[in-house]
Amino acid sequence: MGANGGPGGPETAPVRIAAPQVITAEAGARILSPGYVTISGSVVTDVGEGRPPAAPDIDLPDGTLVPGFVDLQVNGYFGADFRTAGADGWAAVVRGLPASGTTAFLPTLITAPLGELTATLRAAAALAPRLPFGARVLGVHMEGPFISPQRRGAHNADWIITPTPAAVDALIEAAGGLLRVLTLAPELPGALAAITQLSDAGVLVSMGHSDATAQQVALGAEHGARMVTHLFDGQRGLHHREPGVVGQALTDPRLTSGLIADLHHVCGPACQIAFAAAPGRIAIVTDAAACAGMPPGRYLLGGELIELPAGDGVPPVRADGTLAGSALRMDTGVANMVTAGVGLAAAVAAASRVPADLIGRPDLGRIAPGSAADLVWLGPDRRARATWIGGQRMEPGAAYAADGAAGIER
């Protein structure tokens, strides 16, 4: 296996890709029209505007070449719920996500009994050497169990607990270095100490499913929290005398917010407001559940039933009608934000560089010399037509193996 989860092996000749448009997603970079990218092995070695200096090996006839998408919140996909899935389920997600332009992601576990969460984390660590080559697994996102009962959304109220040093340690120890993000409510007793404890262990703390005031969110940021989970959803909203979680998230430069870009969890004008208020601090997420990529029917989220109704883009729900994740693709999320009035370059960055930088992976989410050759060709309809991971083109539905496996990255 290569150093970034891609295929290893001998060096190959450079590959030049020309496109009518290239969005590098680097901060302040403009769209290259036309542009080209040179790949050597698993990394990008050259990016330029105009036609390449030598004949391209791949000449895209239309659309846009963009960095691979990085999704920080994926509860499941293709019928697999990460809370209950075995090796085959994890493998199906890793192999299948590149068809939607996602080249790296965080499997997400929602609130469950603490003992079951630690067991699931240990099982995830055991799966690491057996995953096939595909979308990079960058760690695990633990959404709960330290959340507000008043803002629990689709989480089971019986399993919510307050953070204690012992409970936090149990999750960190069970993950064996895989715990990358943990969502909690900063107003809970012991939450500020937990934020410090998690941050000291290298875990990015995100504030969500929270009834916190703006001041409590600011205190969370002072203690090391750097993210807000699915902005607008499962949190105290914006009020003109109490800005709440939303107001603090949009105005605090320390915080980057995930945003479920399906236009059902958050309507188009609210998405546009978020991008305008916090430029460079919005990360598109799918919050996808097991129903994503599947027909309407019953599936699991966190081990409990949800229903995916018929209808294009309609999210799944619990029996009581509560929204329960989504069936969103990342390329559709980008297209939705463009429809909502967000510029294409900003939408692409929100799906690539912004989340990659947030979790400390500057080698991902951009097209620049030295970055991983994770690329997506978006057609004029913003749909992913082809995806490369570490320079290797992924074919939808194919079973890939690189030196036998691609592991969870640490």
Catalytic residues: 287
Q: Where are the beta strands (DSSP E) in 75-178?
A: 76-77, 80-81, 102-110, 136-137, 140-143
**Contact at 8 Å (CB) between 247 and 282?**
no
- Helix axis angle for 165-175 and 191-200, nearest 10°, is 30
**Contact at 8 Å (CB) between 143 and 324?**
no
Q: Which residues contact 42 (CB under 8 A, 6 or more apart)?
A: 2, 3, 4, 6, 7, 372, 373, 390, 391, 392
Q: Which of 298, 330, 303 is nearest to 317 (CA)?
A: 298
**Residue 288 DSSP one-character state:** B
Q: Which of 375, 369, 391 is nearest to 21 (CA)?
A: 375
Parallel, antiparallel or unpaired: strands 64-67 and 375-378 = antiparallel
Radius of gyration of the chain (CA): 20
The phi and psi torsions of 248 (rounded to 5 degrees) equal -70, -40
Give the strand order in the sheet containing 384-389. 21-22, 64-67, 375-378, 384-389, 392-394
| Length in residues, the chain | 410
